[in-house]
Amino acid sequence: MTEHASLQIGDLAPPLELPDTAGRLTTLPFPGEAPATVVVWTSNHCPYAIAWHDRLMDVARDYAEQGVRTVHVNSNDPERKPADSYEAMQQRVRDEEWACPYLHDDSQDAARAWGPLTTPDVFVLDTDLRLRYRGAPDADYDDPAQEASWMRAALDAVISGGVPEPAETKPVGCSLKWKE
Q: Count of alpha carbons within 13 Å of 6, Cβ hemisphere only?
A: 16
Which of 28, 38, 39, 51 lies at the binding interface for other proteins (CB under 8 A)? 51
Per CB under 8 A, which of residues 139..158 are in contact with other proteins? 141-142, 144
Rounded to a whole number of angstroms, the minimum distance from the CB of residue 72 to other proteins is: 16
Determine if 46 is a binding residue for other proteins (CB under 8 A).
Answer: yes
55: Cα separation from own chain's centroid: 12
Measured from the CB atom, the residue of 35 and 135 that comes closer to other proteins is 135
Cα distances (angstroms) measured from residue 15 to each of 47, 66, 110, 113, 114: 29, 23, 8, 9, 9
Q: CA-to-CA distance for 133 and 115, rounded, in angstroms?
A: 14
**Contact between 2 and other proteins per CB under 8 A:** no
Residues in contact with other proteins by CB under 8 A are 1, 45-48, 50-51, 81, 141-142, 144, 172-175
